[in-house]
Chain A
């Protein structure tokens, strides 16, 4: 039975609260739904997904609520959390090589997951492991089950990781940059697989990625993170094709490959690090639309229609913001 994941007002800080990595983040993934969490390195997107599995470093100071179905995950004991991981909520990571044990045959690795959650015989676990390998698209799974991770390509290893994540039949899958280390053709296969799983099994999917197009191809809803905050959210099509936050526009502009422009559009400067984030709009210093109001105080999320929300006081000006606003002399900026 799939349960929805809900995060309310999550704040995660390090260094005795001095460095706020995530500020007041709320999001929701219903069963069968795919939410894309988009952001650049350091935006806090991976941390948010790890928090849901209780995988935060010990020095993290956490407040807010994370619920899966009716369980409050932040209040569970390590033992209770362990029982939920895998069977209710599972995660796949970016790097399939360092996440697999190099001296365990992949079939055994998958069987172990099954047997740690259910009392089944070795034979039965093995049979199910092979079945899973087949489902994630590994050819001649019975023979391949006896291979070691190094005998697989990157894409096949990621498929093994997905098989392991699915072994205990979780209702919610968190995928943290699952295709970033893979090339485009392999990536297409993995994305198709994730899409099938959520459609056919009613599994919820939280896809964390820096790649807007990857997220858009898979998700119904998108949340864009910048410097520890969600700055825009809504239905995927609306966020991508009618963005109302200048940062989203800048991100989209930098993916455009129009030959008529001599240069790629790019956002000047870099995001503020956790210790140096201002108490007003965090994008203000890089924004082409910045005004005094932007620096007057914290900016809330504004409704801009049909479930779309943006953290910007100038959402009415954003639609006219073209790609040109982000084309600048590359030497004038500081990446």
Chain B
């Protein structure tokens, strides 16, 4: 079994609890508690849960966009939570995030080429001369024409913007990609295009991916291993090779039942057709 590239140990985060030091802490339930998981080199790990289950907080804590209150984030064995800001900044490029809303995550007044070049500049990854070629290569990698570099975000559809956001994450040459509900705000047919793109990039670039979402069927398709979250906690881990029918936790079953799927309806339809025949 490959070594984990990333591990979290007892990760916890509570929002709004820390008030003035002389006041009693407010009694706020934690957004994330005791989250322990590992991401293996080159795997896709799925994280599923309803809104408020702590999945986005988990993503933000892993990427250190948010300092966790408790616990550790080990990237290649090194605890990121203990690092001072400057040292952390040098490691940020290895863990990149793609967010849910491709509309609000791009600067509307910055050309796509500049958005991508800025990432390289910040991380010192390409000289001015190399930037143009690198931007073109990145856009091609996500299925967009090189000419897209000259345009503003407004020229693109939701799916295309999400491709741009993926290109921006790749510009940092990451080892871990966190995709936080990357397709939830997209149309069904576009969702499939973006999911396929992520699967493809993962294989081609050897990325390790944490894929977060609320659609258990979709996550199960993408990720061999799936973590189920509820109320800030990991309540079940579906191991590799298991089927959704093996899910043990009541909540996982409830999630499965709640989603109307065409397979369920198909069975009902066939039954009604048979009854009509009879």
Contact = CB atoms under 8 A, between A and B. Distances in A.
A217 B50 contact: no
A267 B258 contact: no
A265 interface: yes
B205 interface: no
B255 A266 contact: no
Given A216-B262, A334-B144, A185 B254 contact: yes
A252 B257 CA distance: 20
A213 B262 contact: yes
B189 to A, nearest CB: 5
A251 interface: yes
Contacts of A259: 221
B258 A254 contact: no
A240 B50 CA distance: 27
Given A241-B266, A335-B160, A330 B214 contact: no
A172 B170 CA distance: 49
Given A184-B259, A216-B265, A330 B193 contact: yes
A191 B194 CA distance: 28
A237 B272 contact: yes
Contact of B265 (A41, A210, A213): A213
B9 interface: no
Contacts of B262: 212-213, 216, 240, 252, 255-256
Given A182-B51, A184-B215, A241-B266, 5 more contacts: A191-B260, A237-B273, A240-B266, A262-B199, A266-B193
Interface in B210-258: 214-218, 220-221, 254-255, 257-258
Q: Which 10 A-B pairs have the closest CB atoms?
A: A335-B159, A330-B196, A266-B192, A217-B260, A264-B192, A183-B50, A254-B192, A40-B187, A188-B258, A257-B221
Secondary structure class of chain B's binding surface, majority of residues: helix
* Chain B interface size range: 35 or more
A154 interface: yes
Interface string B146-170: 0000000000011110110000000
Contacts of B192: 254, 264-267
A267 B159 CA distance: 13
A335 B259 contact: no
18 contacts: A40-B190, A154-B51, A183-B51, A188-B258, A210-B187, A212-B188, A213-B259, A214-B260, A216-B265, A240-B265, A254-B192, A264-B195, A266-B189, A266-B190, A266-B193, A330-B143, A332-B143, A334-B144
B131 interface: no
A237 B269 contact: yes
A107 interface: no
A187 interface: yes
B153 to A, nearest CB: 14
A270 B217 CA distance: 25
Contact of B189 (A216, A262, A267, A330): A267
A258 B244 CA distance: 13
B274 interface: no
A250 interface: yes
Interface string A229-260: 00000000100110000000011101111110
Contacts of B52: 153
B197 interface: yes
A331 interface: yes
A104 B162 CA distance: 37
Contacts of B144: 334
A40 B257 CA distance: 25
Given A241-B269, A259-B221, A270-B159, A251 B189 contact: yes
A333 interface: yes
B258 A266 contact: no
